[in-house]
Structure 1
Amino acid sequence: MSKIEHNLEPTIGIHSDIPLCDPVADEFGYVGFAKQVATAVVKTPSPQGLVMAIHGPWGTGKSTLLNFVKHYLQEEKGGSKPLVIDFNPWWFDDKNQLAGQFLAQLSTKLKLGPSNVQKAGDLMAEYSGALGKAVALSTGHVWVDVPIGILLKFFKLKPKDVPKLKTEITTALREGNHRVVCIIDDIDRLTPTEIREVFKVVKALADFPNLVYLLSFDRKVVANALAGAMDLNGEAGGEAYLEKIIQVPFHLPAVDRVKLQHKLFSELNRLLVGADMQLFDQAYWGNIFLEGMAPQLTKPRDIVRYVNALAVTFPVLRDEVNITDFFALEFLRINQPDLYETIRDNVQWFAGRDQRGLTAHERTEEREFHQAWAAKLDESVRSGIQAMMERLFPRLDDMGRGAEVESEWRKMRRAAAPEMFPNYFQFAVGADRLSRNTMISFIDGLADQDRTEATLLDAVKMKRSDGSSKARDYLEYFRDYTSEIDSARAINMLRVLAKIGDKLIVKGDESYVGVSLPSSVRLGWVMQHALSRVPEDKRDTELISSFKDGEAVTYLCEAISMIEACHQKPVTYGPAATLTAIKPETLVELKGIALNWIELAATRGQLLAAPEMVSLLVRWRDWRSIEAPRKWIDNYIMPDRKNLLAFLEHFLQSSTTTTFGDRVGRVSYSLGLKFLSDLIDLAEVDGRLVPSVQGERQTDTQELVIAIFQKQYKLFNKGKDPDAFMLRMGIDDDEG
């Protein structure tokens, strides 16, 4: 297996939501419809204020269709080429003067148009001022702030009455015989009052010859807005009003789902250029997409919004997340933000596998939690999203799964893996997190033992805010790549563990995804998986060899304990079956090697600093005799008060208890004096704990050790079992 090289970068960028203009770029089948509309605009004989409208919901491409229509109108030849006037109400700040703004723009365009309509433009300017008074009386709004006299003086025209001006404009437009198309887009984005004003203008000016209006809006939105602004009878009243004004309604054709999906997939393919496709499963993606995503991707704008989001978030994480999981969760972030936030804030209910050990109360609580978020979903998409969620987070389907699935989830960087879950909501991989590419590089680097040792020791120094180290992740994820490790790399890993394993036991690493796990056990798991990659006829020999060259006594003893457990209760499957096959005589030899290393560590003064020292003393006692650890304690521990305190710290145990109504648990402590009494003279310890120098400084932990020892020792002297009591600071000596 080789490290992933990223020579290719995705070519995708942020797409604007600007409507398309060139029909060549059509991807949703609008061209044919646009041609038909353009033909209707041009070929309708002698239109007398014809009003046409294109209806469609927001985001379906109405503006793009209008641009295509304009394109084909401009392609008309000679005298049949219409004069196109764009009017967008959004261009003007004062929406109360839309009528005046429209007439002013219409006048200007006509005066700048072909010669046969320029006269109509001059008359239209004068008509705008004269009509202003009438509209003001009708609507209560003045649409031209400049006094009419000044306006007419500006255009060098003499005042005329409104009917006469309208007659002259009608004559000029008819004699000019040139089609004029007024296009008004985005009407549905205006306020109800502004929408009313637009339609009042259209209605007032809808009977000029050779003048065609082409409007674009969401019919339902506009009907409701008109009903509210004009006190009509609900949506039906608004619809009736529209029918009086619009002679030719068109409904934007529904976009073919296949074309929409083709557009989405082509954009996603560009986004995936250079990505690690080992993190993509086609069947898994297909089910997720069809169940939960496809029903909600119904219009072009849905595609643009979704792809734009991925273009920002995915490139940074593309090799650290499962592609399908990330695409699905980003889809929820855009389209179901409440559910997305629920997932993000409740890892305990989504990540991990279904725990058969949950109590009835916990199962009820979890079930009610998932029913609650599902109930908030729109009924039209609920079942699809629920099906998608069960694929994303398998614990939701309530099917029991073995622990081995979590390893596969981690390897595939699934959101269901508790360790991977945070990556999906941070949009960046922190420097203290182990990236997939780094892990792959580590697996390749196992061919070099020195390099592997250096990598792991550096990772120990990389501490996180929770006290854990990056080394924990290397050891945890190692199991996920077992099948990709050859024999030589596996043997090197065994040697690395035996040599520096104890340095990889970091106290802060014990708490892992809500579970307390001794770091030595994690080392034992790595040993199992590495050994499983060594040919069967070489396993015993290589294991013995690694023990002889190593000095990590805690790791060595943990490995022996695991082998013993598999001999006592044979395992026939998985990596642990490899330990079952270790020969009994090999186990005896391994114990002898480990015992020699324990005694050498004691001689060198290293045993006191060894992780899990208490378990080493137990093995020393069991494999040699009780006298061996006693002699070391008498000669090395008792003479030095500092060593004695450090020694007792190894025995300090704590537990947290809660009672009904507690929000914070109570921490209690014990030193295990019953076991200690077999190794050391407790009376002598009690005497030596008194500071030899007045005011001698001690750490908080040392002070706690002294206090707990003194309280438990009093119980011990009274004939009580001190190990039966976990003591809290400040309680009475006899409490228990």
Structure 2
Amino acid sequence: MDELGFANDRPIKAAEQDLLGRSAFAKNLAAAIVGWKNQESLVIALTGLWGSGKSSIKNLAIQELIATPQLEVIEYNPWEWTGQEKLSASFFDEVSRAIRRKDKSKDGKKLAKVLRQYGRRINASAELVDGMTRYLPLFLGSALVTSYLGTWTTNPTVQILMTSLSGVSALAALPAVLKKAGKFLVDRAESLDKSAKEAELTLSEIRREIRALLAKREHPLLIVMDDIDRLSSEQIKALFQLVKGNMDFPNVVFLLLFQRDIVEQGLERAGFKGGEYLEKIIQVPFSVPAMSNERLESVLFKRLDAILASEPQLSEHFDSDYWRGMYRKGMRPFFRSLRDVYRYTSTLAFHCRLMRGADVAEVNAVDLFALECLRTFAPASYEALPRNKEVLTSGGSRRGDDQAAKSQIRALIDGIVALAPQDHRIAVDQIIQQLFPTLDWVYRNRAYAGGTHARWLRESRVCRAEIFNRYFELALPLDDIPNSLIHALMLLLPDNAGFCDELRRHTKDQQNAIIDRLESRVDEFPLENSDAVIVTLLNAGEVVDGEELSMFSFPGAVRVFRLLLFFLQRHEELRVRSELLLSAFERAKGFVVVERLLMSEASARSDSEATDLDEAGYENLRQMFVVNLLAYASQDPDAFIAHWNFVSYIYRLNRFAEGAGREWTQKHVTSVARFIQFAEAVVSKSTGYSENSVSEHYFVRTGSLEDLFGIEACKGWMDKVDRASLSGKPLQAIDLVAEALGRHERGEKSDYD
């Protein structure tokens, strides 16, 4: 396992790597093999599922066996060869070569030689028959080729064969194909010549010599064949025929490793009764020892601990209770072997590094662990999740007890679960339901309050729509707000200038998203720095982009006001809230936020509802707001009239200071240019939505002209405006004011008046 946590999933080779306590089993297996001495061969099978540790046990046993002198262990990988002929030929060549390399004694050299001879003898005839079967039609196609090939060899048998074929050939074949046929016969002829020169012993005499040499050995010859379950059906059949038919010699032990059901199915396809066939060949069947859940989980948890230790951002807020429930109810069934553990933790480590964030984690660690489990073991179900984001994250607060909607969503989730392997579907269903408590309204008829949703956002849970995409894109989407930014702003809360500078760097939509994210963490704002935090929030209301209120979203200023209000409410005493706010307002302009706070307080008092400030605090704040706002407006009248919140400010001054807003307008609108500015400020917009289009309508309320400036004053300035010199928005504004004055003159009212 490297520093990323990757595991190569290779079998262990030494006892000190044994994590599952298999060393004792391997040691006893090795001792049984060493002690075997008999006049017949012994076939041992070690069976188990892929990834259950067969190869690791084999390696541990071999480690024990190589300590025994004069014991040859020969590992042969049959799946590297294809076809019965190559399988048989390669087997005897590999065994002969291994004995020649390991046993330098006279008998050892002789055994290697006769095994090689034996392999060539039993393969030669089979190869010739097989080749003739394949090439006979081609041979019959050309008498010229067969005659020509007959001159290439002095072997009488082949010459007779060539002469016979030459006599019956009548057709010509393609030269390229005939070349292949010719090469086959030449190779076979040379092989037969070589075999004849090496020895003139019969096959039975060679077998007797092999038996005699093997019987003299003090320790058995161990031939290990792994990965038999990777072979094709024909190769599996050929391998077992090779073991039983051609290697039934004394002091030979075969150790065969495979997954039993796969091999049995392969033999069935090859025309045998798989189980019965294996019973006739295998004398000693072993199964990989069962693995205890405790041992396997110990390995899994150690690797997870190592991942978290290397990713402090993820481990800092790791929810152990949530993890225990997720693992016990959903993830546990997926881990049945070390291979499962290694497959899972290797890619998990990589994805943890991707999503760990600069200063804080960008995802919830438990959600990431669970989703990685689905991605590894139920990939089709995992891939279906991002296609159903809205259903998974929307919740049911607006749907209530809509049984039709519930049935539809249950069917959709069932479809996602059905994409998983059969034996994992229950676990997949449990993981999905734990990842998305937003589905509880469907399964448990349970809805959650806003505080719970805010906590899910604060914890970066996948069930929140704002966070969902990053789990599947495995990166922060371009328009996403990283947790590290929220973390940085949390640290900057007592620093008014630093916080506002950071906020200015972002677009209007990003600012709104940032403030929403901060709202979910308002309980973490530092109470010990309350005065400084309130100053920051008051100024933040001046930084956010002004926007029109719509039915779909709050303006940025309203969002900041909510943030301030929720923070103030953490102080239980109304007096303390009032004192903190008044102190901060003396040092911060903050008109946008304070105006909304005063509106909220005034509304609560008129409706006899609970307030957030005490009476004295409210009155003092109102007076301070009027004085400071009038002073600010008089410093730069042009800037004040151009402010996006100008109309609201004038109305507030009218209400809180008995018409002070209208008086200010009449006093400071002293030129045609300022009147045009005023006209632009009082233009309102309404948006209409139809099935296929969105329409915008601009208007000026006659009531606004009277409340903010006065009808007669407006008429006086309208007579001075040269419309011919105007264009664009200024001309539009003047025309709309003229329409409003006309309606007033005629005693008419529009839908907006």
Does the aligned pair in 2 maintain the 1:50–1:206 contact within 8 Å? no
Q: TM-score, normalised by structure 2?
A: 0.80
CA deviations 1:562-617 (Å, max 9, x no partner) are 33344456777xxxxxxx24122322332233233443454322334434444334
Does the aligned pair in 1 maintain the 2:546–2:557 contact within 8 Å? no
Name which of 647, 653, 661 aligns with 2:686: 653
Instruction: Provide the residue aligned with 2:458 in structure 1.
Output: 411
Other structure's SS at 1:59 match: coil
Instruction: Provide the residue aligned with 1:344 in structure 2.
Output: 386
Residues 581, 553 of structure 1: CA spacing in aligned structure 2 closer, same or farther, 3 A cutoff? Answer: closer
Match status 1:172 vs 2:172: no
Match status 1:495 vs 2:535: yes
Does the aligned pair in 2 maintain the 1:13–1:311 contact within 8 Å? yes
Matches within 5 A, 1:262-661: 262-273=298-309, 275-276=312-313, 277-318=315-356, 319-351=361-393, 353-357=395-399, 360=402, 362-378=405-421, 380-398=423-441, 399-429=446-476, 434-447=481-494, 449=495, 452-463=496-507, 468-469=509-510, 471-505=511-545, 507=547, 516-534=553-571, 536=573, 537-567=575-605, 580-603=611-634, 604=636, 605-624=638-657, 628-629=661-662, 632=665, 635=669, 639=673, 643=677, 646-647=680-681, 651-658=684-691
Report how far residue 459 of structure 1 moved: 2.8
Name which of 63, 68, 79 aligns with 1:71: 63
Instruction: Provide the residue aligned with 1:162 in structure 2.
Output: 203
Report how far residue 122 of structure 1 moved: 0.4
Name which of 91, 103, 117 aligns with 1:102: 91
CA deviations 1:130-176 (Å, max 9, x no partner) are 21134337877999995363487499713544333223222222234
Residues 213, 635 of structure 1: CA spacing in aligned structure 2 closer, same or farther, 3 A cutoff? Answer: same
Report how far residue 684 of structure 1 moved: 9.2
Instruction: Provide the residue aligned with 1:209 in structure 2.
Output: 250
Report the AA paired with residue 305 of structure 2.
Answer: N
Other structure's SS at 2:463 match: coil
Instruction: Provide the residue aligned with 1:196 in structure 2.
Output: 237
Matches within 5 A, 1:212-231: 212-228=253-269, 230-231=270-271
Report the AA paired with residue 348 of structure 1.
Answer: E
Report how far residue 462 of structure 1 moved: 2.8
CA deviations 1:24-57 (Å, max 9, x no partner) are 2111222122123222322233152322211111
Q: Looking at CA atoms only, which structure, 1 or 2, has the larger radius of gyration?
A: 2
Does the aligned pair in 2 maintain the 1:100–1:144 contact within 8 Å? no
Does the aligned pair in 1 maintain the 2:43–2:254 contact within 8 Å? yes
Instruction: Provide the residue aligned with 2:115 in structure 1.
Output: 124
Does the aligned pair in 2 maintain the 1:195–1:222 contact within 8 Å? yes
- State how far apart, in whole Å, the 2-side matches of 1:213 and 1:637 are: 107
Residues 669, 47 of structure 1: CA spacing in aligned structure 2 closer, same or farther, 3 A cutoff? Answer: farther
Please report the RMSD computed on the Cα atoms of aligned residues, expressed in angstroms. 3.9
Report how far residue 203 of structure 1 moved: 3.2
Report the AA paired with residue 256 of structure 2.
Answer: L
CA deviations 1:160-205 (Å, max 9, x no partner) are 4433322322222223454111111112123333333333322332
Instruction: Provide the residue aligned with 2:284 in structure 1.
Output: 248
Other structure's SS at 1:669 match: strand
Other structure's SS at 1:250 match: strand
Report how far residue 428 of structure 1 moved: 3.4
Report how far residue 342 of structure 1 moved: 2.7
Other structure's SS at 2:73 match: strand
- State how far apart, in whole Å, the 2-side matches of 1:93 and 1:22 are: 31
Structure 1, gaps ≥5 residues long: 1-9, 573-579, 659-663, 726-736
Q: TM-score, normalised by structure 1?
A: 0.82
Instruction: Provide the residue aligned with 1:15 in structure 2.
Output: 7
Identity of aligned residues (%): 22
Residues 570, 486 of structure 1: CA spacing in aligned structure 2 closer, same or farther, 3 A cutoff? Answer: farther
Other structure's SS at 2:224 match: strand
Instruction: Provide the residue aligned with 1:113 in structure 2.
Output: 102
Report the AA paired with residue 606 of structure 1.
Answer: A
- State how far apart, in whole Å, the 2-side matches of 1:352 and 1:332 are: 21
Larger deviation, residues 131-140 vs 321-330: 131-140
Report how far residue 356 of structure 1 moved: 4.3
Does the aligned pair in 1 maintain the 2:492–2:499 contact within 8 Å? no
Other structure's SS at 2:327 match: helix
Report how far residue 242 of structure 1 moved: 2.3
Residues 387, 430 of structure 1: CA spacing in aligned structure 2 closer, same or farther, 3 A cutoff? Answer: closer
Report the AA paired with residue 288 of structure 2.
Answer: L
- State how far apart, in whole Å, the 2-side matches of 1:714 and 1:96 are: 105
Residues 159, 567 of structure 1: CA spacing in aligned structure 2 closer, same or farther, 3 A cutoff? Answer: farther
Report the AA paired with residue 590 of structure 1.
Answer: L
Residues 148, 721 of structure 1: CA spacing in aligned structure 2 closer, same or farther, 3 A cutoff? Answer: farther
- State how far apart, in whole Å, the 2-side matches of 1:247 and 1:645 are: 102
Residues 365, 548 of structure 1: CA spacing in aligned structure 2 closer, same or farther, 3 A cutoff? Answer: farther
Residues 379, 90 of structure 1: CA spacing in aligned structure 2 closer, same or farther, 3 A cutoff? Answer: closer
Report the AA paired with residue 456 of structure 1.
Answer: C
Does the aligned pair in 2 maintain the 1:486–1:533 contact within 8 Å? no
Does the aligned pair in 1 maintain the 2:13–2:60 contact within 8 Å? yes
CA deviations 1:256-276 (Å, max 9, x no partner) are 111110000001111111525
Other structure's SS at 2:371 match: helix
